[in-house]
Amino acid sequence: MESIVVTGASGAIGRRVVRQLAADPDVQRLVAIDRASLSLVPAKTESHKIDILSASLPDLVDLFAGAKSVVHLAATSGSSADAETTGALARRVFQVAAEAEVQHMVVLSSALVYGAKADNPIPILESQPRSPHRPLAYAVAKSELEQDALAWAEGAGRTLSILRPTTTLSERGASWVAKALRAATSVRPDQLDPPVQFLHHDDLASAVSLATRHQLDGTYNIAPDGWIGAETFRELAGDPGVRLPIAVSKKVLKAARRYGVGSVPPGIEPYVQYPWVIANDKIREAGWVPAFSNEEAFVLGTPAPPWSMSAKRRQEVALGAASAGLAGAAAIGLAAARRLSR
């Protein structure tokens, strides 16, 4: 593999992907691009502080030239304006990749594109059509990203990895989706408790690296094995189990948005009311192995509220739930216990 380009290289996933790819002896040149500076630049890595939307096409084509793969991670958060910028970024990257004759690309989508509906299968396979909840701009933007990526891949000989992760978070911060879902959970109505999933940033980065190194072609769900049930999630989250009547919860959300309180974006509600957990069989068959369970990722990435169980008890619940759901995964559980005890 001669060279790889990574956009969004200074983000939570980008930093991890750059480190992992730089450690691969088969990668000879790594081009890391972001509007922000990349700290601690690994060997073999060229760090470029560039705004993709304002940079000239020839300059970008020069950076992409000779790349066997482009990993497109550059994106913005979840507002409608941000969603438009995310789409413009992607279209610019596809244009540059076409000019530079890049033959493989990895794009980061989201499991939100499946939509959250009462009749969703549990778990959802990659074959299920995209059906994002239209009021949620972020989910729609990710669906449109996939469509644009597929149009790019129609070029001769091009291959495309579309990765659809579930909710991501880690010790140093949570994704925009994780924060929005957490805020929406606080006003979830009428005891609706669908199963949930949480993916550690390290595991998402390893999936991106795998897709890049092996030039995977197709769509892949990215999530740990299984999911967290309602009872375990309430215990881990310190949820007192109190729910508002649906009419009241709608009024609370409307008032919060009107006065700028909280971070619950329009359209997120179905994703805390109905199931959208995903299967990971396909990416596992490609060789990916998650290092963290759903429970471990949630505990590591979510501060406990003051009234919840102790940190030690949260760790015990997380490890106990993970062991019950992952027969034969003793080695992974031991490694996680060591991480949690540091």
What is the domain-level CATH number for residue 218?
A: 3.40.50.720
In a domain, 319, yes or no: no
| Angle at alpha carbon of residue 27, lines to 217 and 50, rounded to 5° | 85
Cα 51 from Cα 36, distance rounded (Å): 9
Residues 6+ positions from 212 with CB-CB distance below 8 Å: 4, 17, 21, 69, 71, 104, 106, 161
pLDDT band at residue 329 under the 50/70/90 scheme: very low
Q: Is the distance from CB of 244 to CB of 252 less than 8 angstroms? A: yes
| Domain housing 137 | 3-173+197-225+276-303
pLDDT band at residue 228 under the 50/70/90 scheme: very high
| Tokens representing residue 235 in the block | 């215990």
229-255 mean pLDDT: 69
| pTM listed for this prediction | 0.86
In a domain, 112, yes or no: yes
Q: Is the distance from CB of 267 to CB of 211 less than 8 angstroms? A: no
The contacts found for 333-337 with CB under 8 angstroms, 24 or more apart, are 333/293, 335/291, 336/291, 336/292, 336/293, 336/296
Q: How many structural domains are present in the chain? A: 1
Cα 262 from Cα 246, distance rounded (Å): 19
In a domain, 15, yes or no: yes
In a domain, 87, yes or no: yes
Residue 57 has pLDDT above 80, yes or no: yes
Which residue's structure tokens are 């949480």?
198
In a domain, 86, yes or no: yes
In a domain, 265, yes or no: no
In a domain, 258, yes or no: no
- Pairwise pLDDT comparison (305 vs 233), residue with the higher score: 233
Q: Which of 21-30, 203-212, 271-280, 313-322 has the lowest mean pLDDT?
A: 313-322
The terminus-to-terminus CA distance of the chain in angstroms comes to 37
pLDDT band at residue 77 under the 50/70/90 scheme: low
In a domain, 239, yes or no: no
Cα 71 from Cα 296, distance rounded (Å): 27
- Rg (C-alpha) for the chain, rounded Å, is 20
Q: Is the distance from CB of 110 to CB of 139 less than 8 angstroms? A: yes
Nearest CA to 144 out of 84, 190, 202, 102 is that of 84
